[in-house]
Amino acid sequence: MYLFWLRVAALLYAGGCVAVFPAVFYNSIPWRKTCVHLGGLAFFFHFVSVVEMLVQAHRWMPVGVREIESLLAFVVAGLFFLVWWLYEAISLGIFALPATFFLVFVPALGPNRYQFPSQRVWMSWLVAHIIALLLAYAALCFSLLASVLYLVQERRIKAKPKPGQSSRWAPLDWLPPLDTLERLALATLEFGFPCMTIGLIIGSVLVQQTSLGASYFLDPNILASFAMWIVYVTLLSLRLGVGLRGRRAAYVSGAALVVMMAVWAVNFFSQVHRFGPQ
């Protein structure tokens, strides 16, 4: 029965993850209340699951990777709600709630390795995983390109030629306005973030049918992918939360490009992305 409560908690944590971003980025009071209520219910059912799991096993210490993951997720969620209760710092939920969900998600699949019903189903999930991550990286690339074009357009506007004098920026008259480039950079980030999140979740499911188990989270490429997810959150926080715009936002996006290239580089040292269903 503890597995049922854990799955309920995982679903509620997922809802809390969805609600926390508009609550923080757009300072939305309704989304803030939704996030707190969903997260609170998830924490309650998670507590029931942990207690029932340990009582059923006739011990008070977790044994096994999945039990430790569930208990660690419970601690992370508990610390977040403690900080929120003391300081109302819901912005920490951007990192705490997704981390809790990822830690709970795998144990909620079951005590044993998850088995796909057929090879075709496994391949369908694998294709979805690849497409989601490719869309996420493509969206980030478009956002970086829009930021670079923003810098170019800004320089072109400032370099106004004198009457009767030709400008070396004339071939770039086709560039859209600065506001359009700014909105394009933000829109592509907002599109790529859920793609990255979905890709990581599907990857967590796929690896359960392999012999890697919990070592999946120690793979260099997986760690780099989660780092890329944090980069996405940071960029969105700076653009939506802090209100970073213009040249500074373009420079930050350039730093994100370096991180993305590092993610692709560590893929050569990955063992996870060479597996097939076992």
pLDDT single digits (tens) 196-226? 888 888 887 777 666 555 555 566 667 777 7
Other beta carbons within 10 angstroms of residue 6's beta carbon come to 26
| pLDDT-wise least confident of 77-91, 109-123, 172-186 | 109-123
How far is it, in rounded angstroms, from Cα 211 to Cα 213? 6
Write down the pTM of the prediction: 0.77
My answer on whether 212 and 257 are in the same domain is yes
My answer on whether 164 and 200 are in the same domain is yes
Place of tokens 């996030």: 35
Total domains in the fold of the chain: 2
My answer on whether 34 and 79 are in the same domain is yes
My answer on whether 132 and 93 are in the same domain is no
Q: Show which of 108, 140, 170 is a domain's final residue.
A: 108
CA dihedral 192, 195, 268, 254 (to 10 degrees): 10
| pLDDT-wise least confident of 22-31, 112-121, 211-220, 247-256 | 211-220
> Per-residue pLDDT for 165 more than 70?
no
My answer on whether 98 and 144 are in the same domain is no
Domain around 29: 2-108
How far is it, in rounded angstroms, from Cα 80 to Cα 278? 38
My answer on whether 23 and 100 are in the same domain is yes
Amino acid identity of 58?
A: H
The answer as to whether 115 is a domain residue is no
Mean pLDDT for the chain? Answer: 80
My answer on whether 92 and 174 are in the same domain is no
The answer as to whether 139 is a domain residue is yes
pLDDT > 70 fraction of the chain, expressed in percent and rounded? 79
My answer on whether 93 and 131 are in the same domain is no
My answer on whether 195 and 100 are in the same domain is no
Q: Show which of 108, 140, 175 is a domain's final residue.
A: 108
How far is it, in rounded angstroms, from Cα 70 to Cα 52? 12
The answer as to whether 116 is a domain residue is no
